[in-house]
């Protein structure tokens, strides 16, 4: 099965996206696990010759939306992110923490668009297809997400911003 092999190869990319989307490691791998289980069960619906990566990210998006819906409502503005995974072991741990916080404060639909464009470097058409939204919506969500992220990273993170400037 070509798709099966490719699917396994795509696991690291699913983990990267999930890590940025969820904001912490264990929850991200839970999401990846649910996604893989669902993808296996639905692999017969994948059409050969089409973009397996886009299909897989669509599955992950749907699993994520359902999980968020099923769990208790979280207000991202009130939510402090106490998790400091790998703090000190990575050179940019502070920056990662700041980004985690800022990304967590973006509305969920804007977050997904921003991360698919930035991390997966998908074209806007691919993002539209993956999330099942019109391309105009992709553009407006991307624009809003970036502006919010910029404002947050300018405003709230003097220590790591200074560290970066110094080097």
Partner 1 sequence: MSEPISEADLQAYADGHLPEERRKAVDAWLASRPEESERIAAYRRLASEVRAAYNTMLSEPVPPRLTQVAAAGLRWRRVAVVAGWIVLGILIGVPAGWYSRPERLVTQVVPADPSMIARRAAVAHATYSPEVRHPVEVGADDEQHLVTWLSKRLGVKVRAPKLDDFGMSLVGGRLLPGENGPVALFMYQSQNGRRLTLYVRTEASRNRETAFRYARENNVNVFYWIDREVGYALASADLTKDELLRLANLVYKQLEMS
Determine if 153 is a binding residue for partner 1 (CB under 8 A): yes
Q: 110 with 144: CB under 8 angstroms?
A: yes
> Other C-beta atoms within 10 Å of 124: how many?
15
Site string for partner 1, 108-137 (x = CB under 8 A): -------x-xxx-x-xxx---x--x-----
Site string for partner 1, 25-64 (x = CB under 8 A): ----x--xx--xx-xxxxxxxxxxxx--------------
CB of 163 to partner 1, least distance (A): 12
Determine if 150 is a binding residue for partner 1 (CB under 8 A): yes
Determine if 72 is a binding residue for partner 1 (CB under 8 A): no
CB of 93 to partner 1, least distance (A): 10
Binding segment (CB under 8 A) for partner 1, from list 10-18, 63-71, 75-83, 104-112: 10-18
């Amino acid at each position: 099965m070509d798709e099966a092999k490719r699917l396994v190869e795509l696991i690291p990319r699913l983990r990267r996206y999930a890590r940025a989307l969820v904001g912490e490691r264990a929850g991200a791998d839970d999401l990846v696990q649910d996604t893989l289980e669902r993808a296996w069960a639905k692999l017969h619906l994948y059409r050969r010759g089409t973009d397996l990566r886009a299909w897989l990210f669509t599955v992950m998006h749907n699993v994520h939306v359902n999980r968020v819906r099923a769990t208790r409502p979280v207000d991202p503005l009130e939510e402090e992110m106490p998790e400091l995974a790998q703090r000190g072991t990575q050179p940019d741990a502070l920056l990662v923490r700041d980004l985690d916080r800022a990304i967590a404060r973006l509305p969920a639909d804007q977050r997904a668009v921003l991360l698919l464009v930035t991390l997966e470097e998908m074209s806007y058409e691919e993002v539209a297809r993956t999330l099942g939204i019109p391309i105009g919506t992709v553009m407006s969500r991307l624009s809003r997400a970036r502006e919010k992220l910029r404002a947050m990273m300018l405003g709230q993170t003097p220590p790591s911003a200074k560290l970066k400037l110094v080097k």
